[in-house]
Amino acid sequence: MKPVLLIDFGSTYTKLTAVDVESETLLGTAAAFTTIQTDINDGLTEGLKKLKAKIGPVDFAETYACSSAAGGLRMVTSGLVPELTGEAARLASLGAGAKVVGVYAFQLTEDDLEDIREAKPDIFLLVGGTDGGNTECILHNAKMLAQMKPEFPIVIAGNRTAARQCQRILDGCEVYVCPNVMPKFGVLNAEPTQKQIREIFLTRIIQAKGLSKATELLSDIMMPTPSAVLAAMKLLADGCEGESGIGELVAVDVGGATTDIYSIAEGMPDHMNTVYKGLPEPYAKRTVEGDIGMRYSIQGIVDAAGMDKICRLSGLTEERVTELVEDLKVNTDKVPNGDDDLEKLDFALASGAVAEAVARHAGTISETYTMLGQTFVQEGKNLTKVKQIVVTGGSLIHTRQTEKIAAHALYDPAHPESLRPKEAGVWVDRTYILAAMGLLSLHYPQTALRIIKKELEYYGHSE
């Protein structure tokens, strides 16, 4: 037996997962409130007590952890053109496991600087211009940031012609220079920047968020929780040496405040008469919908889905939906617990959250006509041929209607422009092991994949 402990320091709960890597089995899980305001180790100690009460006294051979506590990794980005370098910066940040709290394009203004101060980012990503292209914008923004005398580190990943000049302008600030995230028009080069972002997270941000004591227990470095989940999704889709994956997938994590979407898929056009427009998106893509959540962002779901849809899905009147929504805005920890109306509302809210978040993540297609006849234009990822959907989050795992909720991730004939999966099997993470298995995969990929396959519930094709 070789027990390994995997820890996820969440904003609300610290979740612990114990596995035996020799027998490739899940030993047990436990959770305790995250005590970031006092000492994060207090919550960890409480979680360990609960875990060992379930599995008995265990001396763990190795311990690994990820964290989204204290707001996670908060980032602000600025680029030149919103659809190009601006989007490249956003995708790079999200892929690094960040929560993007501000996105700016073109030249920063004094009002922008005020907003950035209020956002209090952990890292600022400064990009703009392809290599050899526009330098005016990124140099202007470097000068504006220098005026702020920022306490947060700045990662420069724009036009290589201006990068070192930007570094000199920001002399006295904590600055890191990386290769351009978009060196050529339509080319995304995010990995070097993402690596740098994670290194800053490990060295600077863990200490700032009071996590440094916890890292003394670890066998290896800590990482942002979304990075761990993304690693698990890539492993599940692609497999590893000696163990096959399940193929291209879309994953949905509906939380109380946000909804995270992951896609592991090429996503390019699959018809000869379709042209691609915009920046090609990464094979492993993550997006976060900060206005869509089951409690803290409940109004965002209602606004996005529409009151009519929420009423139709729940079978409740508009008056009753409004009454319940207003109550949940205040009592964010309330769960159905036998309340029939609340159970119906949560089904409608989760369905609306899944539909809207996946639609925003997926690409779109539109029809146009040229001299050669009918042509289609694709923007973003084509997920129509993805055959697997992975779901997690309290509203999806603590219900008997998981399949019905997950089905809202699929193609909707009412919105033919949205390139969502047309049919897919549903995998449910009822034990919240995805982040833990992402951590484990860095050291024991085969074991992690086999445990994921064993623990996730599979429901066949959703209809």
Radius of gyration of the chain (CA): 23
Task: Look at residues 221, 253, 277 and tell me which one is the last residue of a structural domain.
Answer: 221
Confidence (pLDDT) at 292: 87
Domain count, the chain: 3
Whether residue 192 is found in the same domain as residue 168: yes
Does residue 297 share a domain with residue 420? yes
**The pLDDT of residue 450:** 95
Q: Are residue 289 and residue 351 in the same domain, yes or no?
A: yes
Q: How far apart are CA 219 and CA 175, in angstroms?
A: 29
Residues 253 and 325 in one domain: yes
Cβ-Cβ contacts under 8 Å for 108 (sequence gap 6 or more): 78, 140, 141, 144, 145
Angle (CA) 181-172-123 rounded to 5° is 40
- Asked if 415 and 355 sit in the same domain, the reply is yes
Give just the sign of the alpha carbon dihedral 345, 351, 355, 361.
positive
Asked whether residue 339 is assigned to any structural domain, the reply reads: yes
pLDDT in tens, the chain (463 residues): 899 999 888 766 788 999 999 999 999 998 887 765 556 677 788 888 899 899 998 889 998 888 775 556 788 999 888 877 788 888 888 877 777 889 998 899 999 999 999 988 989 999 988 888 889 999 999 999 999 889 899 999 999 999 999 999 999 899 999 999 989 887 888 889 988 888 887 776 566 556 666 566 666 667 788 889 999 999 999 999 989 999 999 999 998 878 889 999 999 998 888 888 877 888 999 888 878 888 888 999 999 999 999 999 999 999 999 999 999 988 887 888 888 999 999 999 999 999 999 999 999 999 888 777 888 999 889 999 999 999 998 888 888 899 999 999 999 998 999 999 999 999 999 888 999 999 999 999 999 999 999 999 998 764 4
3-state secondary structure 320-381: HHHHHHHHHHHCCCCCCCCCHHHHHHHHHHHHHHHHHHHHHHCCEEEEEEECCEEEEEEECC
Q: Is residue 245 part of a domain?
A: yes
Q: Are residues 301 and 342 in the same domain?
A: yes
- pTM more than 0.85: no
Do 388 and 247 meet the contact criterion of CB atoms below 8 Å apart?
A: yes
Q: Is residue 244 part of a domain?
A: yes
Q: What is the C-alpha separation between 449 and 233, in angstroms, rounded? A: 10
Given CA atoms 84, 85, 90, 92 in this order, what sign does their dihedral have? positive
435 occurs within a structural domain:
yes
Which CATH number is 59's domain given?
3.30.420.40
Looking at 204, 229, 258, which one is the last position of a domain? 204
| Within a domain: 229 | no
Query: In this structure, is residue 234 part of a structural domain?
Result: no
At residue 463, the pLDDT reads: 45
Do both 85 and 39 map to the same domain? no
**Is 209 part of any domain?**
no
Residues 97, 49 within the same domain: no
Would 193 be classed as within a structural domain? yes
- Give dist(CA 245, CA 238) in Å, integer: 5
Q: Are residues 243 and 105 in the same domain?
A: no
Q: What whole-number distance in Å separates Cα of residue 307 and Cα of residue 349?
A: 10
C-alpha 66 chain-centroid distance: 14
Q: Are both 421 and 303 inside the same structural domain? A: yes
Joined together, the tokens standing for residue 355 give 């539909």
User: What are the Cα distances from residue 345, in Å, to 310, 336, 402?
Assistant: 8, 9, 14
Same domain flag for 269 and 167: no
Give the structural domain span for 55.
3-70+217-221
SS3 at position 117: helix
Among candidate residues 192, 221, 250, the one where a domain is terminated: 221
Residues 366 and 249 in one domain: yes
Token pair listed for 276: 């691609």
Contact (CB, 8 A) for 262 and 233: yes
